Amino acid sequence: MIGIRKIAIFLSFLILWEGLGVAFAQEYRSSQLERIADYVGLPCQDHDGLFYRALRYQGYPVTVIVRNGEVTHVGYSLFTPSQRQHLSEMQCNFIERMALTADIPDFYGIDINQYLYDEQVEFWEGDFSVLKTIATDTTLVVQDTMNERKIHIFSFYTRNKQRRLLTLTYPTNYRLISGLDMTEAENALLTDLNRVRVERTPTTELVDSMLQPFGDSSIWYIRGDTLFLPEVNANRFYNYNEEHGEYNLLYSEDYPKETMANLVTGVEIENQFVLDVKLVKYGYRKEQFQISLRRWIAFCLQTDCKPYFWAAWQEDNQMIDSELLMHNEKLGYCHIMKMTFDPLILGEKSGTIQARLNSYVRISNVKSLFQEND
């Protein structure tokens, strides 16, 4: 009997130890989230999912999100699951997280009003007290817009927009909105790249009025937006298939720059190209990794980045230098990738492309990178 009791005590201790071990191993997307979890008493999350109103802090419901065993969000429950599907999840997370941290004493190390002033966050109507009461009402209407100065304007209305309760404004600042510092953003980038799935981008049915002739050749193009310089644009190139009476995305060794433009602005063209990337990290550190070209493009498109591309022959006309900018307007950053490739690899639809990547560059800092030397 004593032996059985000892075994039972040992097993109970082992189970408790393992439980503590699991809690200790809980992963968080940022140190900020880990600090929030400590304050609200977040238990270990064993399963992935959106835990809407999972617990309460100071009497208000809290939402938790866990993905791939990592806590990616903790904040007051201001948005319903259906609202999250129609809005930017990262911005919903930011507003919920900020509302909660305003209730945590000295969370930012300075007075909350000073923090808001420094980060250019402003209430045009209402305040934090109104923001928190929103968590108790699931019937509200939300609206997110941006003005010409790239400032987000987030408003909450009563049903049918009869009355506006609160308007919050904040800048397009990835660090602020994501809650990640530069090192955490770089680490998250590499993790997220391994998880992305390559899915075909929706294609628009083409009509003749959309296409323009490209010089004197037999190919056509759709003029896209430009970014900073006319040469850095989102143009796509096509040829006309007379047999089927339709336009197809151009893929031709005779037009390497235009073909590469098509490859980096969508994932419709099957290929086996691999990017050999030197990631230039915060603090002048570097990290080398490889990723398929299609996976990189898919990741950027799925995170609401718009591709802009420029390419030119080197002086010896052997290799092509190019710039690929993935511009996220709502979050205020660009991924900037400089690529060098031999046009001969286009014939096999496979090969390695040398690349240098600066990630999450503030848009205001982008122009200076065009003048950098490798």
Please give the Cα distance from 313 to 341 (Å, whole number).
Answer: 10
The total of other beta-carbon atoms located within 10 Å of residue 286's CB is: 9
Please give the Cα distance from 230 to 236 (Å, whole number).
Answer: 14
Please give the Cα distance from 156 to 127 (Å, whole number).
Answer: 12
| Residue 223 C-alpha from the chain's centroid | 26
Please give the model's pTM, rounded to 2 decimal places.
0.86
> Which residues share a beta bridge with 50?
65
Please give the Cα distance from 325 to 309 (Å, whole number).
Answer: 6
DSSP H helical ranges for 25-155: 31-40, 81-86, 89-101, 112-118, 128-133
pLDDT of residue 199: 81
pLDDT of residue 9: 34
**Per-residue tokens: 328:** 């996220």
DSSP 103: T
pLDDT of residue 201: 67
Burial 351-374 (b: 16+ CB within 10 A, else e): bebebbbbbbbebeebeeeeeeee
pLDDT of residue 13: 32
The total of other beta-carbon atoms located within 10 Å of residue 55's CB is: 15
Distance between the two ends of the chain, CA-based, in angstroms? 74
pLDDT tens string, the chain, 374 residues long: the values are 444 443 333 333 333 323 333 334 589 999 999 999 999 999 988 899 999 999 999 999 999 999 999 999 999 999 999 999 888 899 999 999 999 999 999 999 999 999 999 999 999 999 999 998 888 888 899 999 988 888 999 999 998 888 999 999 999 999 999 999 999 999 999 999 999 989 876 677 777 778 988 887 789 999 999 998 899 999 999 998 877 778 899 999 999 999 999 999 999 999 999 999 999 998 889 999 999 999 999 999 999 999 999 999 998 889 999 999 999 999 999 999 999 999 999 999 999 999 999 999 998 888 665 555 44
C-alpha R_g of the chain: 25
Please give the Cα distance from 234 to 369 (Å, whole number).
Answer: 19
